[in-house]
Amino acid sequence: QVQLVESGGGSVQAGGSLRLSCAASGRTFSINAMGWFRQAPGKEREFVGVILWSASTTYYADSVKGRFTISRDNAKNTVYLQMNSLKPEDTAVYYCAAEKSSVVARWASAYDYWGQGTQVTVSS
């Protein structure tokens, strides 16, 4: 089992920045990739980005490319989501997730473990 705990959410004005953290514990050796997803009220969970656990390779949704950056600190078993130039449409609950398979997926069903989520609110 892998446990994921997110932190760093909050409220910010448009154009501002936030950094989310996701700390992993447990059987972290089984993780292949760590993804970030978000879900706004009344909408489906949406892929934000993903980073390989053992490399620096990242992939992002077009909606956040150039504004969001995912990084990791393996010594701390922590993944970060740096969010810059935030927009009101970025408002959502943000989740980190861990994937065991070798497929670096953009769909939520591929992920095996999920954090509890952290709220990000961007006001105009």
What is the pLDDT, as a whole number, of residue 10? 96
Q: Count of residues for the chain?
A: 124
Task: Report whether 102 contacts 28 (CB < 8 A).
Answer: no
Give the torsion through C-alpha atoms of 117, 58, 52, 98, to 10 deg.
20
CA distance 20 to 58: 16
Locate 2 and state its tokens. Answer: 């892998």
From first to last of its 124 residues, the chain has per-residue pLDDT tens of: 999 999 999 999 999 999 999 999 999 999 999 999 999 999 999 999 999 988 889 999 999 999 999 999 989 999 999 999 999 999 999 999 999 988 888 999 999 999 999 999 999 9
Maximum separation of any 2 CA atoms in the chain, in Å:
41
